[in-house]
């Protein structure tokens, strides 16, 4: 097993553990979410953005193509959620006695699987650039993977459809990350295209951290320790990137 597949498998275990914990305590663990957001933002700012701008120098319409890809990644997730309503506001009135279609929870879980596949793809592609970048991506995704499993199960619990049949979604999420890593590792593409995907992936991470993780982490818990965890996550990624430079 190559490095990308091994690390993807480890993050898949974290996803499953997060789902198991959610099914037991039904809480989002705001400290872990804050840490995940800090790691992801540190990864984007310290490693992904510098790397993609070094790897791909091409321009389109007067701006760098990797910059366009980064913005596109952010917009893809935003528009997908608007179209399929997979992300409710954290103070939504649903859950206070009102219920919308049970399909919303399933759609949300499937959408979660899609971005988990993108995480795996990011790990596979990153290791093709360098081991240092691969480890940095893994470090950010590891904690995020735990919250992925937690969020997938929480979506289903919230909709009242958590059952033995829907537990299979945790397995699918784990396989999605390993499958993404396999595609990223073995599909032959040029270096410019690898940089474009990593830029797109950076846009995904920015959206997930700012639109999902941080709002949820601060929504129903005191913000002080969540903020500390976020700052700590940024500092950890700083050390990871600096040590691999």
pLDDT digits (tens, 9 = 90+) for 110-126: 556 676 788 888 888 88
Measure the CA–CA gap between 192 and 213, rounded to whole angstroms. Answer: 30
95 lies in some domain: no
CA dihedral angle for residue 92, residue 98, residue 103, residue 109, rounded to 10 degrees: 40
What are the strands, taking DSSP E only, across 202-245?
A: none
Contacts of 14 (CB under 8 A, 6+ apart): 142, 143, 145, 146, 149
154 in Cβ contact with 105 (< 8 Å): no
* Residue 94 belongs to a domain: no
Q: Is residue 129 part of a domain?
A: yes
Range of the domain at 36: 3-89+100-244
User: Is 238 contained in some domain?
Assistant: yes
Q: 58-99 pLDDT, tens per residue? A: 999 999 999 999 999 899 888 877 776 554 444 443 344 444
pLDDT tens column, 117-169: 888 888 888 888 888 888 888 888 887 777 666 666 665 655 555 555 556 66
* Of residues 150 and 26, more confidently modeled: 150
DSSP 8-state secondary structure symbol assigned to residue 63: E
Other C-beta atoms within 10 Å of 115: how many? 22
- In the chain, how many domains are there? 1
3 state SS of 98? strand
Residue 26's pLDDT is 53
Report how far apart the first and last C-alpha atoms of the chain are (Å, whole number). 25
Instruction: Cite the DSSP H helix spans in 26-64.
Output: 30-43, 49-55
Cβ 112 vs Cβ 130: under 8 Å:
no
Say if 163 falls within a structural domain.
yes
């Amino acid at each position: 097993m190559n490095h990308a597949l091994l690390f993807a498998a480890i993050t898949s275990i974290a996803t499953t553990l997060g789902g198991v914990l959610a099914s037991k305590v039904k809480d989002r663990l705001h400290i872990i979410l804050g840490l995940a957001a800090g790691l992801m933002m540190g990864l984007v700012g310290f490693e992904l953005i510098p790397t993609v701008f070094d790897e791909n120098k091409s321009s389109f319409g007067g701006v760098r193509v990797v910059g366009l890809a980064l913005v596109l990644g952010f917009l893809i997730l935003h528009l997908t959620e608007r179209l399929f309503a997979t992300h409710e506001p954290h103070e939504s009135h649903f859950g206070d006695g009102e219920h919308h279609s049970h399909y919303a929870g399933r759609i949300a879980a499937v959408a979660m699987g899609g971005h988990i596949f993108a995480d795996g793809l990011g790990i596979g592609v990153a290791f093709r650039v360098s081991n240092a970048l691969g480890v940095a991506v893994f470090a950010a995704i590891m904690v995020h993977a735990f919250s992925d499993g937690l969020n997938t199960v929480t979506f289903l619990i919230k909709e009242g459809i958590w059952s033995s049949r829907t537990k299979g979604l945790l397995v699918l999420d784990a396989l999605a990350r390993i499958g993404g890593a396999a595609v990223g590792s073995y599909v032959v593409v040029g270096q410019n295209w690898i940089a474009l995907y990593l830029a797109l992936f950076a846009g995904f991470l920015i959206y997930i951290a700012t639109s999902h993780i941080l709002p949820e982490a601060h929504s129903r818990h005191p913000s002080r320790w969540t903020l500390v965890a976020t700052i700590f996550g940024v500092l950890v990624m700083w050390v990871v990137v600096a040590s691999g430079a």
